[in-house]
Structure 1
């Protein structure tokens, strides 16, 4: 069953969103502040399907909460804001938000966004729910069990971390990650982060898997943000 975490200091709005989400047959958890929200994320990290996150909260801003979530989780995040400022939306999206909704909004629009994000995460990205299957792409096969990669039926020799990096990006194709997010997920370590180290690994990996490393097909650079695996392959 899908489980949605709502983080918003507006208790009346939280109660309304909770009622609508539960009406759709989902479980809704409530947090009336950023600190409480992060605690619930930590306790339910493997069970959450979506986070609805308000930007303006008195204890921690939604941007701070989102940044902390993205350091250890790829769960979809729908951000809510009372502002229509484009700069706020850009900031949220660059930090890893998946969608944005400006207050006031209709419940119908909210639920449409919620259902769309959940469908994309659980149906169109089935690797988010299973940890053992191979990743099958148009011209690439990533065999997780045997830790092998073939491109155009050619076996590619990768180091252990190169394989982990490729698998992580491919399992979450279409999603944009900062260098620090990649480091935290692949190296499982939030310390000793080195921006140039990630760039070096990406460069080496591209030379091995890309037909033309100067014009990559698989691993794309999102200027000013980070990297993503091409969702079209």
Structure 2
């Protein structure tokens, strides 16, 4: 059975989540970021549900520490619904974002999607094809890339976007096409999420993120994969 860690200081919500999903997943809970990070260091989890508004270090700060050590999928939980919060989470490395109060069926669907996708990549099922370019090699089995023979790990959404573009080099894709391919959802003009994700990837893989050569902006259209040429 897959294991989920929920980090949230709302004890009533923790109890509700435990009652709703304990038949589907093994569930551990933490009331603050420090406790959650300690548990991550001791146990292997398949997913983390992380609240933004935590006592002490907030969820964004905790997420930053998680991303320095772990590639586990993270879904942010927040009572705020502003685009800036979503962008901040994605820039740090969140895989998905759910706003409170949320529909339990939707949360479970998103959780299952992240776990399934991460398991697929770890097992090297699909996609399998390694993509080689001048400056980087994209390796699905490691959910990341090699750049100058150094491993660069990506979050789930980062890898999905990069692999989607790299599968058709030089092909320009609209933001609508990218959103539907990466988020597997109807496009709702959520350009901030796309731009935040592209910015995060560029910081990891580009020699000069301000003048990118791998993921290139196509004005008036969207983005294309240049491969570093």
Shorter-chain-normalised TM-score: which range?
0.5 to 0.7
Q: Decide whether aligned partners of structure 1 residues 199 and 27 sit closer, same or farther in structure 2, where only a CA change above 3 A counts.
A: same
Partner of 1:162 in structure 2? Answer: 148
Kept in 1: contact 2:3–2:27 (CA 8 A): yes
Q: Decide whether aligned partners of structure 1 residues 21 and 41 sit closer, same or farther in structure 2, where only a CA change above 3 A counts.
A: same
| Length-normalised TM-score, structure 2 | 0.61
Q: Does 1:37 align with 2:42?
A: no
Distance in 1, Cα, partners of 2:42 & 2:201: 24
Deviation for aligned residue 1:19: 2.1
The secondary structure found in structure 1 opposite 2:69 is coil
Q: Decide whether aligned partners of structure 1 residues 31 and 129 sit closer, same or farther in structure 2, where only a CA change above 3 A counts.
A: farther
Q: Decide whether aligned partners of structure 1 residues 19 and 58 sit closer, same or farther in structure 2, where only a CA change above 3 A counts.
A: same
Partner of 1:76 in structure 2? Answer: 73
Match 1:118 to one of 115, 119, 125: 115
Distance in 1, Cα, partners of 2:216 & 2:123: 26
Deviation for aligned residue 1:170: 11
Partner of 1:13 in structure 2? Answer: 13
Deviation for aligned residue 1:100: 0.7
Partner of 2:27 in structure 1? Answer: 28
Distance in 1, Cα, partners of 2:112 & 2:36: 21
Deviation for aligned residue 1:31: 0.1
Deviation for aligned residue 1:41: 1.3
The secondary structure found in structure 1 opposite 2:151 is helix
Deviation for aligned residue 1:57: 1.0
Deviation for aligned residue 1:163: 2.5
CA deviation string 1:45-97 (max 9, x = no partner): xx210000000011210000000001111111000101111111111111111
The secondary structure found in structure 1 opposite 2:105 is helix
RMSD of the alignment, in Å? 3.6
Unaligned runs of 5+ in 1: 142-148, 150-159, 183-197, 203-212, 223-228
Count of paired positions:
168
Distance in 2, Cα, partners of 1:88 & 1:2: 28
Partner of 1:88 in structure 2? Answer: 85
Kept in 1: contact 2:71–2:155 (CA 8 A): no
Deviation for aligned residue 1:179: 7.4
What aligned pairs does 1:153-192 form with structure 2 within 5 A after superposition? 162-165=148-151, 168=153, 173-174=159-160
The secondary structure found in structure 2 opposite 1:78 is strand
